Amino acid sequence: MTAVKRSLELMAGAATWLLGTDPRPAPPHVFLLDSASLRYGRFVAGESGFEVEDLTIAEMPRELFGDGPLGGVTHDLGLFKQLVNEIVATVDEKPEEASLVLPDAWLRLSFAELEDLPARGARRLEALRWKLKRQVPFPIDDLRLKAVSVARLPNQEEPRRVLIGFGVEALFRQLEEVFAASGVRIGRILNTSLATVSSIREVVSDLDLALLVLVSAGGYSLTFTQRGEPLLHRFRALDTSLRGEDAAQLVVRDLKLTRSFVEEQLPERELARVLLASPERQRRFWLDSLEDALGRAPVALEREQLPLRGTLPEVSPVELAPMVGAAWRDVA
């Protein structure tokens, strides 16, 4: 290790808020988990941004978690508990409450239009499940889900529009239980895109339409924002066997289809900014592909776009962005 319940509606008593809907300020402690590592950071807020007071990274075997389309529970619970315990034991300030950021593939997002949505309880859950069942190819009864109201699209038919976050209940429950056994209460769970959008809201909050492109090991996500709030989102898993020209053609074709869809949904909006968050080794490929498909030169995410100050650890800003975004996420 290197320093540097069924639905969310029913889980409210356990103090878990998917998509950051806890009305209290976010804790400074953030864990970021993916198939390759577990990271912990403590972000202390000041007048001009956050300072990174602690950052710890534990590498993990890539086969430790299930590799289904929505992820899966750990294959070695003892090893994962050990990793969590080691991080909690070695950090300077024990995190009694923390946020947890998961990959976009594990915590998916879907927008839905509805005529009406009950405010709470079983009827609300039933309406959401009914809607989601017609949109995604996953067993709905196995999912935990939560919906928050979002801005309407100009041409939508129904009066309401919501953003639904969903993932495998068994995975979320297992993660919460492991952290709880180490004395850490997970107060909110976000995916990487939502957390990263939060981290860049200062640079997109005045724009009618901006795009965050987030590239990960298993695919990429496109999140269009309206004045800093998610408006459209798409996660696309990629065939890792594709290389070179084949991969480029697939990506550009998919991006052009997305561009056409957005232009149809938002006919009077101009894409004001494209931000790319990708591993450095893939940056040139994505900068070229995005400009080719979208007709606008993207900008790679750098430290200057993040609310950070002081001396930073030798970690890519792309890796820091979702963590500081989770620490910054306040929802009234």
User: Taking 70 as the threshold, does the pLDDT of residue 80 lie above it?
Assistant: yes
Q: For position 243, what pLDDT does the model report?
A: 59
Q: For position 314, what pLDDT does the model report?
A: 86
Q: For position 329, what pLDDT does the model report?
A: 63
**Cα dihedral: 181, 19, 27, 106 (round 10):** 50
CB 220 within 8 A of CB 213: yes
Q: 68-77: per-residue pLDDT in tens?
A: 899 999 999 9
Q: For position 24, what pLDDT does the model report?
A: 61
User: Taking 80 as the threshold, does the pLDDT of residue 182 lie above it?
Assistant: yes
User: Taking 60 as the threshold, does the pLDDT of residue 296 lie above it?
Assistant: yes
Q: 105-163: per-residue pLDDT in tens?
A: 999 999 999 988 887 788 888 888 999 998 999 999 999 998 888 989 988 889 999 99
Q: For position 149, what pLDDT does the model report?
A: 87
Average pLDDT of every residue of the chain: 87
Q: For position 310, what pLDDT does the model report?
A: 85
Residue 282: phi and psi, rounded to 5, are -105, 0
From CA 136, how far away is CA 50, in angstroms rounded? Answer: 37
CB 105 within 8 A of CB 219: yes
- pLDDT band at 308; cut points 50, 70, 90: very high
Compute the average pLDDT of residues 37-43.
Answer: 96
User: Taking 70 as the threshold, does the pLDDT of residue 178 lie above it?
Assistant: yes
User: Taking 80 as the threshold, does the pLDDT of residue 330 lie above it?
Assistant: no
CA 33 to chain CA mean position, Å: 11
Q: For position 4, what pLDDT does the model report?
A: 37
The share of the chain scoring above pLDDT 90, in percent, equals: 65
Q: For position 41, what pLDDT does the model report?
A: 96
Between 11 and 96, residue with greater pLDDT? 96
Q: 8-27: per-residue pLDDT in tens?
A: 332 332 223 444 444 567 88
List alpha helices for the chain, DSSP H: 77-90, 121-133, 169-181, 192-199, 201-204, 244-265, 283-294, 317-328
Q: For position 92, what pLDDT does the model report?
A: 87
Q: 198-240: per-residue pLDDT in tens?
A: 999 899 999 999 999 999 988 899 999 999 999 999 999 876 6
Six token digits for residue 137: 């190819």
User: Comparing 9-18, 83-92, 307-316, which segment has the lowest mean pLDDT?
Assistant: 9-18
The share of the chain scoring above pLDDT 70, in percent, equals: 89
Q: For position 123, what pLDDT does the model report?
A: 87
pTM: 0.90
